[in-house]
Amino acid sequence: MKLPFFTKKQAEVSVFYPNDTIPEHIAIIMDGNGRWAKQRGMPRAAGHKEGVSTVVKIVKTAVKCKVKVLTLYTFSTENWKRPKPEIEFILRLPKDFLSIYLPDLIANNVRIEAVGDIGKLPAHTREAIEDAMERTRSNDGLLLNFALNYGSRDEILNAMKEMFLDINKGEFSLEELDEQKFSNYLYTAGMKEPDLLIRTGGEIRLSNFLLWQLAYTEFWFTDVLWPDFSEKEFLQALEEFCKRKRRYGGL
């Protein structure tokens, strides 16, 4: 069943905060789907399915608030350790979601991107994401960034390998290497680093997510399980972010 997304008119509804205080890039660890389902005596897949409904609501709110980038930790390099049917279920969700919502996303100027080793995903997952990336390439509203087969250590190791190949080719020297140059080898090259990280589901850890990129990010954790997470908690996180003083190591 298609949930109500939003019309162009609704998306233009007034913004809740002045643009300058809104976190430009919000990254979310969407945790708690399994426990949500277990509490209801349902299979874990039911929690993931409900998790997609939360994605729809939060994307809608992010568009309204004029967030620039929303990165969602959808499938990690560690998630391959789960039972095969659960893996298959999760990896079908991007295609299911896009087959329903891509027209709404396009109408609302959303651009789709992915970070992670997407080449190793099943063809149907990869093709759905690549097709959405292609069809939304020229949109300049919210960048909806799916972290798929993403692992931060894997990303950093791959970046190092590629960078050393370029150094060996003489493209630049080791002395010229700086943070900016290195970050251009990450999946997030060219993307602003997250201003705010949200993790639902009560765990207080990063689980191999954006370790380099989160160096100066503000963190906000909640016990609320992802399927129960709503606009209310999202706005609470934004409000908390607005109160934080970011000094980046300075005074």
Q: Are 70 and 146 in contact (CB under 8 A)?
A: no
What are phi and psi for residue 75, nearest 5 degrees? -155, 120
Whichever of 79 and 222 has its CB closer to ligand FPP, that residue is 79
Residue nearest to ligand FPP (CB): 34
Angle in degrees, 0-180, between the axes of helices 84-107 and 123-135, rounded to the nearest 10: 10
Identify the residue among 22, 26, 48, 198 touching ligand FPP (CB under 6 A). 48
Distance in Å, CB of 213 to ligand FPP, minimum:
19
Q: Is 31 a catalytic residue?
A: yes
133-153 core/surface letters (b: 16 or more CB in 10 A; e: else): eebbeebebbbbbbbbbbbbe
Identify the residue among 22, 26, 28, 30 touching ligand FPP (CB under 6 A). 30
Sheet of strand 218-221: strand arrangement: 111-115, 143-150, 69-76, 25-29, 196-199, 218-221
Closest to 32 measured CA to CA, from 14, 48, 53, 10:
48
Q: Is 108 a catalytic residue?
A: no
Whichever of 85 and 181 has its CB closer to ligand FPP, that residue is 85
Distance in Å, CB of 234 to ligand FPP, minimum:
14
Distance in Å, CB of 31 to ligand FPP, minimum:
5
Region of 75 (left: φ > 0; alpha: ψ -120 to 50; beta: rest) is beta
By CB under 6 A, tell whether 234 contacts ligand FPP: no
By CB under 6 A, tell whether 51 contacts ligand FPP: yes
- Kindly name the residue from 19, 20, 31, 104 that is annotated as catalytic: 31
- Kindly name the residue from 19, 20, 79, 104 that is annotated as catalytic: 79
Side-chain-side CA neighbours of 84 within 13 Å: the count stands at 1
Residue ranges that bind ligand FPP, judged by CB under 6 A:
30-35, 48, 51-52, 55, 74, 79, 90, 93-94, 97, 201, 226
Catalytic positions: 31, 79
